[in-house]
């Protein structure tokens, strides 16, 4: 079916919420402790879909009036019945969301079918990569092109869950079964990760002290865990003493501050052999955290179960739990760009996107 954008009626919009309450625990020391930002954010909350279990899995920010998200959204058709073909790709234009179906093929099948999308990576408004469980797809603003297909045989236990990269020619995809794929713009290869644990998140940044690119990924099954470091096509482990066996998100500024979240928020200033510090339960959040992202050491967000979002401003942590009306569900995957934060997830059978802007 030909993909088409269409505007949807939002089931719920909550805007301009006062979020100046509930500062919590003191932070770990940080190099820019005196350089603080405001906790004063207003939020818009969008809920859509419903049938079949709608969800948004990942999100990216281009600017304060352009956000893309991926997942699976089920809408009703002209007869009032839920369309069985899911809408996987969403765009927010600063006021409303629109969605389109993205078709891709499965193993041994050449025909394309619209399906769920798991992750997204943007290098520009019209230079977007998304992943299905097994495909790497590119959108140029008008059409989709398949760049890689990772399923080489059945059964398959390497479904992609997240992506990170520096350009169209250097993209890492991670997922189930310890899968790490590298795409160089022309071809892809599977890296030896040394684990079969599901990999939930990946992040990278330039280390200006060494001149090297640092890339970390977190893997866990709630019993076992691995913190992985990727250098080119080589994967090694990083000391993870002190962290729980539930790791779901990672974000860092090299040699300044490293955050790993899941059952708690872990932090340290260097990837040495010292144990990770972890905030006591209830000090910053009492719930499972699904994601962490920031735009600097003084602008870090963590989000998770029961729609709790917390913010570190370079001096204190602050929770917005009192002003987010949802309690059934969770958010986790998120993006931060300057004074805008977006996190996505689900509530019941509905997909949810929360957009926060600093006032």
| Residue 204's pLDDT band (cuts 50, 70, 90) | very high
Q: How far apart are CA 344 and CA 122, in angstroms?
A: 16
DSSP state of 195: -
Q: How far apart are CA 331 and CA 343, in angstroms?
A: 6
What pLDDT is stored for residue 246 in this prediction?
96
Largest CA distance in the chain: 61
Q: Which of 320, 315, 281, 314 is nearest to 302 (CA)?
A: 320
| Residue 322's pLDDT band (cuts 50, 70, 90) | confident
Q: How far apart are CA 253 and CA 292, in angstroms?
A: 12
| Strand-by-strand arrangement of the 234-237 sheet | 199-206, 213-220, 225-231, 234-237
**Rounded-to-5 percentages of helix, strand, coil across the chain:** 0, 50, 45
Q: What is the pLDDT of residues 52-91, one digit of tens each?
A: 789 999 999 999 999 999 999 999 877 878 888 999 999 9
What pLDDT is stored for residue 82 in this prediction?
86
Q: What is the pLDDT of residues 86-110, one digit of tens each?
A: 999 999 999 999 999 999 999 988 8
* C-alpha distances out from residue 133 to 10, 156, 180, Å: 28, 10, 13
Q: How far apart are CA 25 and CA 312, in angstroms?
A: 10
Q: Which of 22, 12, 15 is nearest to 322 (CA)?
A: 22
Task: Tell me if 313 sits within 8 A of 299, measured CB to CB.
Answer: yes
Asked whether the predicted pLDDT for residue 257 surpasses 90, the reply is yes
Of residues 219 and 36, more confidently modeled: 219
Q: How far apart are CA 354 and CA 48, in angstroms?
A: 12
Those residues whose C-beta lies under 8 Å from the C-beta of residue 97, and which sit 6 or more positions away, are: 7, 8, 10, 46, 48, 90, 91, 353
The label of the residue with tokens 């092109």 reads 145
Those residues whose C-beta lies under 8 Å from the C-beta of residue 23, and which sit 6 or more positions away, are: 39, 316, 317, 318
Asked whether the predicted pLDDT for residue 158 surpasses 90, the reply is yes
Q: What φ, ψ does residue 177 adopt, rounded to 5°?
A: 65, 20
Q: State the Cα angle at 247 between 261 and 344, rounded to 5°.
A: 65
Q: Which of 257, 260, 265 is nearest to 284 (CA)?
A: 265
What pLDDT is stored for residue 78 in this prediction?
75
- Give the three-class secondary structure for 60: strand
For a pLDDT cut of 70, what percent of the chain falls above it? 91
Stretch 317-326: mean pLDDT: 88
Q: Which domains does the chain carry?
A: 6-358 (2.130.10.10)
Task: Tell me if 306 sits within 8 A of 347, measured CB to CB.
Answer: no
Q: What is the pLDDT of residues 11-40, one digit of tens each?
A: 333 333 333 334 444 444 444 444 889 999
Task: Tell me if 33 sits within 8 A of 314, measured CB to CB.
Answer: yes
Task: Tell me if 347 sits within 8 A of 328, measured CB to CB.
Answer: yes
Mean pLDDT across the chain, nearest whole number? Answer: 89
What pLDDT is stored for residue 35 in this prediction?
80
237, two tokens: 């482990």
DSSP state of 174: E
Q: What is the pLDDT of residues 267-295, one digit of tens each?
A: 999 999 999 999 999 999 989 999 999 99
- Give the three-class secondary structure for 213: strand
Q: What is the pLDDT of residues 223-248, one digit of tens each?
A: 999 999 999 999 999 999 999 999 99
């Amino acid at each position: 079916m030909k993909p088409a954008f269409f505007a949807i009626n939002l089931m719920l919009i909550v805007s301009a919420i006062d979020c100046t309450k509930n500062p919590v625990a003191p932070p770990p020391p940080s190099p820019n402790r005196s350089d603080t930002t405001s906790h004063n954010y207003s939020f818009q909350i969008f809920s859509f879909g419903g049938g079949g279990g709608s969800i948004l899995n990942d999100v990216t920010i281009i600017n304060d009036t352009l956000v893309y998200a991926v997942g699976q959204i089920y809408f009703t058709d002209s007869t009032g019945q839920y369309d069985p073909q899911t809408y996987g790709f969403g765009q927010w234009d600063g006021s409303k969301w629109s969605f389109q179906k993205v078709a891709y093929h499965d193993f041994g099948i050449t025909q394309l079918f619209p399906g769920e999308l798991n992750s997204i990576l943007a290098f520009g408004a019209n230079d977007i990569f998304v992943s299905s469980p097994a495909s790497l797809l590119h959108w140029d603003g008008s059409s989709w092109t398949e760049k890689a297909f990772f399923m080489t045989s059945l059964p398959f236990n390497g479904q992609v869950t997240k992506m990170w990269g520096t350009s169209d020619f250097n993209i890492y995809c991670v997922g189930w079964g310890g899968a790490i794929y590298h795409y160089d713009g022309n071809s892809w290869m599977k890296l030896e990760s040394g684990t079969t644990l599901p990999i939930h998140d990946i992040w990278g940044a330039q280390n200006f002290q060494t001149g090297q690119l640092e890339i970390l990924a977190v893997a866990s099954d709630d019993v076992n865990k691995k913190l992985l470091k990727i250098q080119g096509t080589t994967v090694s482990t990083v000391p993870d003493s002190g962290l729980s066996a539930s790791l779901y998100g990672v974000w860092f500024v090299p040699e300044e501050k490293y955050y790993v979240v899941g059952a708690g928020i872990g932090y340290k200033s260097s990837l040495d052999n010292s144990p990770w510090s972890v905030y006591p339960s209830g000090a910053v959040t009492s719930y499972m955290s699904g994601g962490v992202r920031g735009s600097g050491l003084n602008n870090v967000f963590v989000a998770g179960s029961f729609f709790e979002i917390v913010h570190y401003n370079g001096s204190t942590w602050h929770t917005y739990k009192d002003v987010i009306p949802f309690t059934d569900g969770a958010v986790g995957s998120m993006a931060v760009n300057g004074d805008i934060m977006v996190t996505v997830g689900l509530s019941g059978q509905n997909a949810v996107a929360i957009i926060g802007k600093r006032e």
